[in-house]
Amino acid sequence: MSDRSGQAYGIVSRFNHWIVALAIIGMLAFGIYIEDFVPRGPSKGALLQTHKAIGVLVLAYGLWRIGWRLAKGFLAPAAPMPHWQDVTSRVTHWLLIAGIIVMPISGMMTSLFGGHDISMFGLFVIPGQPKNAGISEFAKEVHGATANIMIAFIVLHIAGALKHHLIDRDATLVRMTSGKSSR
């Protein structure tokens, strides 16, 4: 395998990373806001409709983003680092990738097997299925638990990026922002 540690992420990879990062962080905050801060009622229902429709778009874009990553491969570390940090970083990246798929799919299953339609901004509808409380409740648990796991790993991921940038002073962050391969 060629050594790709001297490379930077290309424009498509960087655009995809930041769009999906923003969408996922936004959707995590949006979901928690709806669940924990909005009382039951029509406005909660309307917000949930928006959460669901955006979430389906995130799944569609996320599949393309992950396909691009799988096709292009991950870069080797920007600078030499202890083995445990390399492993932690790889595990974190794979978990975040899994989360990009598991979050919207579990959300869709919660909703569809709860017997509810997903209205895509009023343009078309993904029809609800015959109610299956078992599947819906399980999917809801997965949706909530995966959200918490993702939050923990996103915090770790950001802490890692900052450590590389501020303490190690290597190219890890800039090769995902400006696309430079060294600093």
Which of 110, 113, 136, 170 is the binder for ligand HEM (CB under 6 A)? 110
Interaction mask 4-43, ligand HEM, x per CB under 6 A: ---------x---x--xx--xx-xx--xx--x--------
Q: Given the rule CB under 6 A, which of 39-47, 79-87, 130-138, 151-159 is the region that contacts ligand HEM?
A: 151-159
Query: Is residue 21 a contact partner of residue 158, using CB atoms and an 8 Å limit?
Result: no
The smaller minimum CB distance to ligand HEM, of residues 90 and 130, is found at 90
β-strand partners of 119: 125
With H, G, I as helix, E, B as strand and everything else as coil, classify residue 56.
helix
Angle at 29 between CA 102 and CA 105, to 5 degrees: 15
Instruction: Report how many residues bind ligand HEM under the rule CB under 6 A.
Output: 44
Minimum distance, C-beta of residue 42 to ligand HEM, in the bound complex (Å)? 16
CA distance 80 to 111: 46
Which of 49, 108, 136, 170 is the binder for ligand HEM (CB under 6 A)? 108
β-strand partners of 118: 126
In what helix (H) or strand (E) does residue 124 lie, and over which residues does it extend?
Answer: strand 124-126
Minimum distance, C-beta of residue 81 to ligand HEM, in the bound complex (Å)? 10
- Residue 182, CA distances (Å) to 12, 21, 130, 162, 175 in order: 19, 23, 55, 16, 8
Q: Given the rule CB under 6 A, which of 39-47, 80-88, 130-138, 156-164 is the region that contacts ligand HEM?
A: 156-164
CA distance 174 to 183: 8
From the CA atom positions of the chain, what is the Rg in Å? 19
Minimum distance, C-beta of residue 57 to ligand HEM, in the bound complex (Å)? 8
- Residue numbers at the binding site for ligand HEM (CB under 6 A): 13, 17, 20-21, 24-25, 27-28, 31-32, 35, 48, 51-52, 55-56, 58, 69, 74-75, 78, 93, 96-97, 100, 103-104, 107-108, 110-111, 118, 140, 143-144, 147, 154, 157-158, 161, 172-173, 175-176
